[in-house]
Structure 1
Amino acid sequence: MASSPLVFLLLFCFLYGGDADLASDEAALLAFRAAVARSGLRTWNASAPGAPCTWQGVSCDRSRVVSLRLPAVGLLGPIPAALGNLTALHTLSLRFNALSGPLPAELAGLAELRSLYLQGNRLSGGIPDFVASLSNLVRFNLADNQFSGGIPLGLNNLTRLSTLYLEKNNLTGEISGLDLGSIVQFNVSYNQLNGSIPVRLRSQPASAFIGTALCGGPLGPCPGEIAPSPSTPAPAPASGRPGGGTETNNNRKKNKLSGGAIAGIAIGASAFLLIVLAALILLCRRRKARSLGATAATGSKGAETEAGEQRNRGLEEGSGGRNVSAAAAKGSSESSGAKKLVFLGGDAARRFDLEDLLRASAEVLGKGTFGTAYKAVLETGSTVTVKRLKDVSLPEQEFMERIEAIAAMDHPNLVPLMAYYFSKDEKLLVYEYMPMGSLSALLHGNRGSGRTPLSWETRTGIALAAAYGIEYIHSTSPSSSHGNIKSSNVLLTKSYSARVSDHGLAFIVGSNPTASRVSGYRAPEVTDPRKVSQKADVYSFGVLLLELLTGKAPTQAALNEEPIDLPRWVQSVVREEWTAEVFDVELLRYQNVEDDMVQLLQLAIDCVAQYPDKRPPMSEVAVRIDEIRKSSLGSSYRDQHDTPRSLEEDDHS
């Protein structure tokens, strides 16, 4: 790319003009802009007052540039060597751009660097050895790139390193040699790593290693490795250490106990055992008294005892499931309201009682705005999703009325609500289980070599199905809205048909003013979570469309950094007339549908208009997506879908 003579003159003066100062930093920045910023960064004008310290993303300290933060500004191409001349940098953030190629060796000159954020680019090659020379590095993030090769053991030399994120790359080999003494946050998930997790990293959560062939620690013991037992006694201290002889003599003295001391110990132990036994008996009686609602319906004392035993199994065995079963049991005994699962229509043959639910094996699916969701596998083999609500302060009658209104919304692109449970302390909702998880996980999950790209056809199908579901909600009354549209609330069946979940819950949990919402999807006019209009839903859906098109999550943010404003970033890119750069790299292969991609992008921009009156209604949004999809795939793609306001799949599991 051609650059102005002024840029190279300034850079030449820096390289050969003596000590580094603000002028040399300015020359390096201009060379950087010329290489990767195209026509962006318009504030980077050498004649501007206070340059370069007043430029976008640039911060100075006395006479040097100490911070360069340019997240999601459309930088494109290899990182130029000139960046290594900013030798006073403390923070470098170029995350969520389209930078490519290897890290230049000149970055080794950034000896003062403390924070390096390069995640969400297309950088490749190996993690260079010179990183080990950046001795002041505290936070290092290379996630979601295309780095390959092994993780250099030189990182062990970084004694101040507390954050290391390398997930979603193509890294290979073992990490058993890593010995990061000061590490706090660590993630190497979704790489081609294998072998044993080193001891110092075994305190990290399992999510730091998923998507790899690693073993040990939170992933369970490696083959041939004996799992540590909590009851295993600590090894005795070595007798050869200083003071060992004294300890041995003391132990010998302690072994010579008098008969009275032995009798006293025996009496004390017996008294202690009696106290423990009495406490256990009291505890058992209390647990027996706390019968579950389903047990109360049977009126059988024998069933009541059985229910107490079943609570110790079932959902207790799942990850976090114990909280559901124990709290539900407590709530049922203390509430004068419903004491059993209340089913809301549906197939009577698929019904079950609370005991069946508590016996089910369970695992946590995720924690969201309204509570925690669990996958529960019943003894009959069927699977349901259980959502444990939080921050609900509604009285029972009002809660029931709102739940029944939600259940009355029957549409192929909404997740059906099967049943609910209400008590003073516990509110549970039971939904059909969606086997493919959420759109968020599909978009932002494994981005490594093993990932299956999400096609244009699949993305437009998901967008259309979600639009139909939301349009249906809006059609039920002029005031009906979803209230919390986001990619994690768009769930997928085995055939990748989308269903919208959590509809209506904003007006149950939203009755608590302290309930929060995900700001990345929230319309600018929404200040009260209890008052979300249909136009605010359209805004949130527009952000979801941008997420489908760009592959970027609107709430992603690195440690100590601000989240990306996805609509604002996309609009800034479109204004610069390099629209193609906003699209997810996985969509660039579909060159024959570029016009359709741009049309969907324009629709998304219309949806996220600043003023609500400028946003189209969901009925129009659905029609426009349908037309774009037909244009891309041919008019025959929906011959089997004659219903004009649903996108229903063949697989109902």
Structure 2
Amino acid sequence: MAAMPPPAVGLAVLVLFAAVLPAILADDLNSDAQALQALRSAVGRSALPSWNSTTPTCQWQGVTCENGRVVELRLPGAGLMGSLPSGALGNLSALRTLSLRYNALTGPVPDDLSSLSELRAIYLQHNGFSGEVPASLFGLKNLVRLDIADNKFTGEISPDFNKLIRLGTLYLDGNSFTGEIPKLDLPALEQFNVSYNQLNGSIPTKLRKMPKDAFLGNTGLCGGPLGLCPGETAPTPAGSPEAQPGAGGAADIGGGKKKKLSGGAIAGIAIGCVFGVLLLLALLFFLCRKRSSAARPAAAVEKGRDIGMEPLDVEPKGQNGSAAGAGGHNGAAAAVAVPAAAAAAGAAAAAKAGGGSTGSKKLIFFGPMAAAPPFDLEDLLRASAEVLGKGAFGTAYKAVMENGSAVAVKRLKDVDLPEPEFRERIAAIGAVQHELVVPLRAYYFSKDEKLLVYDYMSMGSLSALLHGNRASGRTPLDWETRSAIALAAARGVAHIHSTGPTASHGNIKSSNVLLTKNYEARVSDHGLPTLVGPSFSPTRVSGYRAPEVTDIRRVSQKADVYSFGVLLLELLTGKAPTHAVVNEEGLDLPRWVQSVVREEWTAEVFDQELLRYQNVEEEMVQLLQLAIDCSAQHPDRRPTMAEVATRIDEIRRSSLGDRQAGDSAGDGEGDEPSL
């Protein structure tokens, strides 16, 4: 028999391979299905009803297939409970993405993950995993993202993380890791967080570029964004005199001989010193004259107040919501100029008359400023002022000092507390010092006037940003900015709650969320309801007030959560809850949202400005569900503010991961970035 030509042999092999391939792929998919069924039997027997023999494996909930293999398993918040079985996930040899976040999984992470050589992203955050990070993870050479935050992992952070050379995201926060942070040298690392563990020691040099938030909650950590460690000195800036060769000693010129000053040089120095002293005396004389002349207008303002002159208490036009608090900075300041020192004219009159019960005539400072006050009452009296707005607790002003610095001054109303009680309550407010809370810098007390001094926030309030200008030329407030504002505000309120079991903000609303130049949120006006009398009944906060609140002076932490839920709804819908009704049905904002979503999730709820952004629908729905949970009618059904902040952080991470990976799945977990 003649030999078969080589082309015929190749064709025969190809036909045979095409006939066998479906069987091979079917065997692989059957193997994957068996592994998934083992996983379901262990942790999801009642949570995964679609995982059955009548439904194709690749159509099961959370399962994505390519070329007949399971490549993604995404089950966030699916209700999984128990410990992951050994020998199940390890059989999914083609798996690239594993997402089991926000479930109730416990116990150790199984070692068989080491066999998943294609694995690029692992998301196990917000479960109850315990023990040490398994060494098997460090063999996953293709791993790009690892998030095991908010679990119960213990032990030290292993330096073997350095084996994951493609790792770009490493979140270890919210666990119980101990010891020092190892020297991680990961060239692709861009996202890193070890906050709220039990770590100590110095932050490694290559990690000091990370933001401060990445290290908070570890009382033993120091260095980098957390400040110098004991015995550590600040690095000398390049180009400074100390960094120059030969600095600190005399110049060595011409073979090491030091040049001596000539007699003419010495005489010149002496003459220069004499002229310097005369110039200094002349400058002091000029400043004294200027100070004396500046005092006369202030005295004239005092006199004007004595005969009835008042600051202009007007509501600035074009601003929505109150301007309460430190700010009630609702956008640009009102175009209403008041005379110099008008914001503190009452204080001047009281000081002139002897003050209150103790005759106090000075500002009392809090925090770092208490040791060296940057200005005094007289400086404040000479400041020019603009009305920012009138809110439930008084009128806010922007006061600009002679040196150009600006502060916000709150002139309180309806406060008739005796001075000892006022001092006690205001001290509790001033003790709250946090980067996400607008700090109370100082106060003035007299019988007739009570002034509070805060940092001035130039970008105004969230209320003004959301509702101030909806014209066609408006720059839309995108999802990233809104979710970042929500997270910062949640963390700020959570910090206030952490200061004591009964500590609360008491007046959460969008006009009390102020913004920096980078649109970073700061919570203002906390604690002011404790200063007012029993007859105080503001109508401006009715849209945010929890149904169980009958006395604004006694707002619980759960009532704060309700108000924050309304704030989240305001961010998502673009509707102002302070309106009597938000639609023709006469419902307040929480009830209107619930009436719309009772049937199904619908775009009618969301602000039209948000609908133009792609791949964020799932995150918007998740934040909407959180807002509904917060605004539940029964206080016991509302989460804590710490839980609210954690959930917003989870939602933001999902959105961030989705954008970075270009993944349209909306789960926030994507493939690895290009290297």
**TM superposition score normalised by structure 1:** 0.49
The structure with the greater share of residues assigned to helix is 1
* Bigger radius of gyration: 2
